[in-house]
Structure 1
Amino acid sequence: MNDLPKSDLLRFVERAVELASRAVARYSSKFSKKRYTLRQHVVLLCLKVKKTTTYRDLVDELIEMPRIRDALNLDSIPAPSTLCKAFDRLEMAVWRVLLNVSVRDLPVNGVTGIDASGFERAHTSTHYTKRTNLTIQQLKTTLLVDTATNAVLDIHVTTTRKHDTKIAPQVVKRNAASITVLTGDKGYDDQKLRQVAHDHDIRPLIKHREFTSLHKAWNARLDSDLYHQRNMNESVNAAIKQKFGAFVRSRRWWKQFRELVIKCVVHNVEQSLAMPHNESDCP
């Protein structure tokens, strides 16, 4: 079996194991039962998202995946409820650290694009939505994407109709060290956002809403080659939805937020495997 070439799935698991070992502690505490590590839980949850499957189906498939189990160093297979509880326990901070680590080895160039999209809350409880008068059926998801690698640098998720110009400044401040150029469409045309960018030595390439001839002149002088790299953000949004689903499975909002971050982590791992320096892994 060791003579067989590595499948894309095995390479994904090995890469995810490497990232988890750098981002996550081995056990949650010294009182842990130590049957499974946090790193194993993290990789299995990423694998669930990659395969767009359920906990029960993932566990069932692991029975027939000896090389995947070896890569994870699994002596036994966790129950579906074990993975479900692990997802509940692993806080958002853990997934954000993993997202940051997943970008570090990628050749990012600092030219970024910011854009928002929606993910369906397909499994939201009807009873819950009626009790809370919840009418919003989508999660507004804002991605900050590096245009050179199509890697997701950061994600912001909200259940409200908050305007793009209210979300973008906090995303920029949080990632200022990774941004040299910020591209965005007219929805991000706001003087406060431009000022935040300038304060952090970031060049904003954001089209002005054309209320005057001066605005038209400014738009005409934009660096079109750099500005059109903004389209990469839309490509990443579409790719994530196509590969991992344009919806979230969880019922609670905080679980839905985590689920979307995991989608971005899985996307980044796949991007790192697609880089030329990883071609040596192929037979």
Structure 2
Amino acid sequence: MQTLPKSRLLRFVEEAFQLAQRAVARYSSKFSKQRYTLHQHIVLLCLKVRKNTTYHTLLDELIEMPRIRSAINLTELPAPSTLCKAFDRLDMAVWRVLLNLSVSLLPTNGVTGIDASGFDRSHASKHYTKRTKLTIQQLKVTLLVDTRANAILDIHITPSLINRNASEIEVLLGDKGYDDQQIRRMARENGVRPLIKHREFSSLQKAWNARLETELCGQQSQSETVNSRLKRKYVAFVRSRRWWKQFRELALACIVHNLDRAI
């Protein structure tokens, strides 16, 4: 009988499993029940985001996925609450390590773009907020995107992105929303060349922008494309009620995006 080729989903799971093995220990502590490994938890959380589904639906589908279960040595399925608690226990530092490792799978070139986007919160009922006159703010984050591989290098607020990733950036692209002398100065202090469009208040600034358009050749729009793809495919809104968990959701979606690009 002919062996079936590996699907993209199976290759994604294998890549995520290898990444998890490089990032964290097998178990969270010596007191762990050792029923499931941290590597398995991470892969299942990544798989949930990639399939854009719920814990219950994912585990129900895994019943009919023996090759996927075999790839991560999963002999029995965890309860949905087990995965939910695993997500709570894994610190943001772990997701940042995984994000950095996922970037290493892609051919980056040091030319990066920054772009911010807002994410709605799914638990906020519009009827309730309107009736009680509450204001629920969006979660707004900035992505740092490599323009060659469309890889997401980091996710945070703008100054932190530049300082934390200075060694990975040669050129920083940005639209007029990032026309700020503090950002330009910070980039130069870190040895990064800022190519950020100016707000047009004079003919000189219009001329500068026209020159930048020629030099950028549409590369800035790639970071906007990645932002849009992240929303359409993985995380149109955040489900968690607490802001630190919402941020982890987005970091996890960025890892899944990079893994998808790598395969």
TM-score, normalised to structure 2's length? 0.93
Post-superposition offset of 1:125: 6.9
Q: Which amino acid is 2:6 matched to?
A: K
Name the SS for the 2:32 alignment partner. coil
- Give the equivalent residue in structure 2 for 1:117: 117
Residue identity matched to 2:257: H
1:103-252 equivalence runs, <5 A: 103-124=103-124, 135-156=135-156, 167-222=157-212, 224-226=214-216, 228-252=218-242
**Alpha-carbon distance in 2 for matches of 1:195, 1:227:** 24
Q: Root-mean-square deviation (CA), in Å?
A: 2.1
1:2 to 1:44, Cα distance in 2 relative to 1, 3 A: farther
Q: Distance in 2 between matches of 1:270 and 1:216?
A: 39
Report % sequence identity. 70
Counting only pairs closer than 5 Å after superposition, residues 83-94 of structure 1 correspond to structure 2 as 83-94=83-94
CA contact (8 A) 1:124 1:251 kept: no
In the alignment, structure 1 segments of 5+ residues that lack a partner are 157-166, 274-283
Equivalent in the alignment of 2:29: 29
Structure 1 moving runs of 4+ over 4 Å: none
> Which residue is 1:279 aligned to?
none
- Distance (Å, rounded) in 2 between the aligned partners of 1:176 and 1:90: 26
| TM-score, scaled to structure 1 | 0.87
Q: Which amino acid aligns with 2:20?
A: A
> Structure 1: how far apart are the matches of 2:174 and 2:187?
12
Displacement of 1:214: 2.7
What are the ranges of 5 or more consecutive residues in structure 2 without an aligned counterpart? Answer: none
Task: Report if the CA contact (8 A) 2:235-2:253 is conserved.
Answer: no
In the other structure, the counterpart of 2:13 is 13
Q: Residues 259-270 of structure 1: matches in 2 within 5 Å?
A: 259-270=249-260
Question: C-alpha distance in 1, partners of 2:159/2:32?
Answer: 40
Distance of 1:35 and 1:261 partners within structure 2: 26
1:27-77 deviation line (CA, Å, top 9, x unaligned):
111111111111110010000011111111111111111000000101111
Deviations 1:155-177 (A, max 9, x none): 12xxxxxxxxxx42221111101
State the SS of the aligned residue for 2:124.
coil
Q: Give the Cα–Cα distance (whole angstroms) in 1 for the partners of residues 86 and 204 of structure 2.
A: 55
Q: Check the 8 A contact 1:112/1:147 in 2, yes or no.
A: yes
Given that residues 116 and 141 in structure 1 are in contact (C-alpha distance below 8 angstroms), is that contact kept between their aligned partners in structure 2? yes
Output the CA distance in 1 between the equivalents of 2:189 and 2:215: 24
Provide the secondary structure at the position in 2 that maps to 1:238: helix
Letter in 2 for 1:253: W
